[in-house]
Chain A
Amino acid sequence: MFFGKNPNPSSGRQYAVSLAAIATVALACYPVAGVIGYRSVALLLLFALSLLSLRMSLYPMMAAAMVSALVWNFFFIPPQFTFQIHSVEDGLMFAMYFIVALLNGVFSARIRRAEELARQKEERANAAKLYDTLFNSLSHELRTPIASILGASDNLLTHNRLSEEIKQNLYVEIGASGERLNRLVDNLLNMSRLDSGFIQPKLDWCDLGELIFTVTRGLEKELQHHRIVVDLPDDLPLFKLDFGLMEQVLTNILHNASLYTPAGGEINIKSYFAENQCFVKIKDSGPGIPAGEIPHVFEKFYRSKNAQTGGLGLGLSIAKGFVEAHGSTICVENAAQGGAVFTLRIPTEVLSVQMPKDE
């Protein structure tokens, strides 16, 4: 394909560019017309028109064809500086020049139109495919917990001879499904919050130990089979952060870590202050991220090929969105000893914990 996504500059500019191109070729040819012959000038002008037709739309091309024919006639075909043509040969050349130039414009425009249609069709097909994938995974994610809630409550209502143990399992199942739906809805709401672009971080002094504890407490159930190691220096200052946003970011990263770290494995959370930034590093002891997938893990709806669990592929992309709304950055790499390490860098004001004057 010859042109980029937007082959048509605005039409006023197209006319100007065409005229300028014709004038340039004509001026360049004028002093040497005697040497190369005025008929070669026609070929040079046609060549310029062919180049123009790669980018111009139909009407500017037709105008260019007409103007260049007239320019050739007036300045080059003898008698010069008149629109008269004396020889039959020149008359034929002039007519053919005009027709070829016009056809040139018409055919280029057609080709371009066909290419444009093909591109749109392809885009539509891609969008439809993405939509299908999304729709399937969303309806699966929503329906699974709903099905289990309905199934469990049906059983409880219709079979009055269920053992206590089975009943208990069904109650637990209803609760777990409710939690799963709740997390899904939270993620969808957060995603639309991000898409709306209305996130205004509310910065306030934060104790990072407090933040990390709040997050691990919220994920108690998900992290119950893992060893959580929190590594904070004693003199870690207070940071000016949006507690709620950072809580969501760390929750999503830790939830992700819990999915990939085998039972009994360690998840390490570390924070320190350096280069005027608050660093938070979360290292899991899972299999790490396949090299080719690293650039994609933060993409919306991206699911790892190794993902063993359900999910929409929203968690990490929300984390990244919130981190960026906070003016911070997040990246991931594989640790030398295995496992993935997520690194947050948060530029922030700090307050060293010096005691205010106390009586």
Chain B
Amino acid sequence: MHNPTILIIDDEPPIRKLLEITLQANDFKTVMATTAKEGLTLAAMHPPDLILLDLGLPDDDGQNVLAQLREWYTNPVIILSVRSSEEDIVRALDHGANDYLVKPFRTGELVARIRSALRLSQGAAHVPVQAFGNLSVDLAARTVRKNGEMVKLTATEFSLLKLLVRNEGKVLTHAFILREIWGPGYTQHPEYPRVFIGQLRKKIEDNPNQPSLILTESGVGYRFVGVGN
């Protein structure tokens, strides 16, 4: 089985070192770039399976790098960013980034995010019947069972759950959810995702006030985690 190659674009030597050690210890191959220019060149020469992109690069804004990558590169891009720049994160996610991590991050979290992004990009989530703890979702039959019992979902709730399940492990921004479920005309109803996520939690979570399946990413959106986060 081939080991996925990950291109790291980050200008900080200690972070590069940490990422290299962590990823190699988890059987990934790593390629390093310290500037935006070098990153774009390396990505074009040997397209990697995934790119870790720092937003604060010395020679160019990471957002521009992302935009240029997305003109041709379809594998996952995960953004690394410093704290308190939710707007940058949301912008990157809405412009083609698959996920993000805020520095300082825990390496366990990093590896989990990389694995889930790679799994999604390989289409593994398109299995029709999936189980998450005591919840099972049949995307083909459009049925949901909790502890073996049928859960009654409305059409919108089911579409939302399907969107979340199909993107398991990935953060979805409010704007993305709104667009995917209600279409581009509903931007004047930014409350819809909150309302429906709230409803969905009441039906599928063991304790809706302490969700373990649909997690809130503060200021960004929601993330569906299978089990045991």
Residues of A within 8 A of B (CB): 178, 182, 186, 189, 193, 202, 204-207, 209-210, 212-214, 230, 232, 238, 243-244, 247, 351, 353, 355-356, 358-359
Contact = CB atoms under 8 A, between A and B. Distances in A.
Contacts of B209: 209, 212-213, 230, 232
27 contacts: A178-B104, A189-B84, A202-B219, A205-B191, A205-B194, A207-B197, A210-B194, A210-B198, A213-B209, A213-B210, A213-B211, A213-B216, A214-B218, A232-B209, A238-B194, A243-B219, A244-B84, A247-B218, A351-B191, A351-B195, A353-B195, A353-B198, A355-B195, A355-B199, A356-B195, A358-B156, A359-B156
Interface string B187-229: 0011110110111000000001111000010110000000000
Contacts of B156: 358-359
Q: Which of A206, A207, A214, A243 has the most CB of B within 10 A?
A: A207
B86 interface: yes
B154 interface: yes
Nearest to B202: A234
B86 A205 contact: no
B2 interface: no
A355 B199 CA distance: 9
Contacts of A202: 219
A358 B154 contact: yes
B46 interface: no
A178 B86 CA distance: 23
Interface string B72-103: 00000000000110100000000000000000
B45 interface: no
Nearest to B214: A210
Nearest to B186: A356
B104 A210 contact: no
A308 to B, nearest CB: 27
Given A213-B211, A238-B195, A359 B155 contact: yes
Contacts of B191: 205, 238, 351
B181 to A, nearest CB: 11
Contacts of A189: 83-84
Contacts of B154: 358-359
Given A186-B83, A214-B218, A244-B86, A205 B190 contact: yes
Interface residues of B, number: 25
A214 to B, nearest CB: 5
Contacts of A205: 190-191, 194
Interface in B39-59: none
Contacts of A213: 209-211, 216
B34 to A, nearest CB: 24
Interface string B1-21: 000000000000000000000
A353 B154 CA distance: 16
Nearest to B210: A213
A358 B155 contact: yes
A207 B83 contact: no
Contact of A356 (B155, B174, B189, B216): B189
Closest 5 CB pairs of A and B: A205-B191, A244-B219, A358-B154, A209-B209, A359-B155
Nearest to B229: A217
B85 to A, nearest CB: 11
A304 B83 CA distance: 29
B195 A206 contact: no
Given A189-B84, A358-B155, 10 more contacts: A205-B191, A207-B194, A209-B209, A213-B216, A232-B209, A244-B218, A353-B198, A356-B189, A358-B154, A358-B156
B192 A182 contact: no
A250 to B, nearest CB: 11
A207 B104 CA distance: 27
A214 B221 CA distance: 12
A209 B84 CA distance: 22
Interface string B165-182: 000000000100000000
B190 to A, nearest CB: 6
A356 B192 contact: yes
A229 to B, nearest CB: 11
Contacts of B84: 189, 193, 244
